[in-house]
Chains A and B, each alone.
Chain A
Amino acid sequence: DAGVTQSPTHLIKTRGQQVTLRCSPISGHKSVSWYQQVLGQGPQFIFQYYEKEERGRGNFPDRFSARQFPNYSSELNVNALLLGDSALYLCASSLSQRRQETQYFGPGTRLLVL
């Protein structure tokens, strides 16, 4: 079975631009979460979606938004990019939201903002 896939793998943007990152969960998984990993730090939670509804939001500005589609894939959008948005963006999927559920991570999209 395919794991979590993300596209694109790498992206270079300039300040002020907008970016859309995409994630396809493992087949059968209904929950998708997004994390930002700045160089040298652990991942920080951005959003969680379950059954196409936002179920959690981390401490990120409104420039960050996301959505989940009927096939459970997801997009993360970032508007008005800042240099500090340069990071590895990770998507994770799980069967449900239950505490015991394991989140499986994709390889990430590395975003560089110039």
Chain B
Amino acid sequence: AQSVTQLDSHVSVSEGTPVLLRCNYSSSYSPSLFWYVQHPNKGLQLLLKYTSAATLVKGINGFEAEFKKSETSFHLTKPSAHMSDAAEYFCVVKEDSGYSTLTFGKGTMLLVSP
């Protein structure tokens, strides 16, 4: 069975400072990993995905994530936060086990102050 743990329910940063959103996963098979962002009253937008190619994955809007198999982690980072980054972020795991469905973490709310 697959599962995802997002270690922080809320993260607060100041504009211009680095962002770190932490995610650990559990998977019986070789997983694909994703980060999605959800702005208030909006659907989910894909930020980036890992599918067993390069372990450092670059996404949209300056975000990137590093897959660390030994630590079963897939943390999301951004060098400099922008006010528009304030949203909820979901770490997602997908296994290749016959049929592929997404398992979401509980989400991390990113708050950005001026």
B-binding residues in A (CB < 8 A) = 4, 33, 35, 41-45, 48, 50, 55-56, 58, 90, 92, 97-108
Contacts and interface: CB of A to CB of B under 8 A. Distances in A.
List the 3 shortest-distance A-B pairs measured between CB atoms, nearest first: A42-B104, A99-B96, A105-B44
Interface of B: 30-32, 34, 36, 42-46, 49, 51, 90, 94-96, 99-107
A104 B94 contact: no
Given A100-B32, A105-B44, A41 B100 contact: no
A105 B100 CA distance: 15
A99 B104 contact: no
Contacts of A97: 99-100
A104 B99 contact: no
A48 B101 contact: yes
Contacts of B30: 99
Nearest to B34: A102
Contacts of B51: 99-100
A91 to B, nearest CB: 9
A99 B101 contact: no
Given A90-B44, A106-B43, A107-B42, A44 B104 contact: yes
A45 B101 CA distance: 7
Contacts of B32: 99-100
Contact of B102 (A98, A100, A103): A103
Nearest to A43: B104
A99 B102 contact: no
Contacts of B42: 107
Contacts of A90: 43-44
A43 B102 CA distance: 9
A98 B59 CA distance: 21
A33 B102 contact: yes
A45 B102 contact: yes
Given A99-B51, A100-B51, A105-B43, A41 B107 contact: yes
A108 B101 CA distance: 18
Contacts of B45: 105
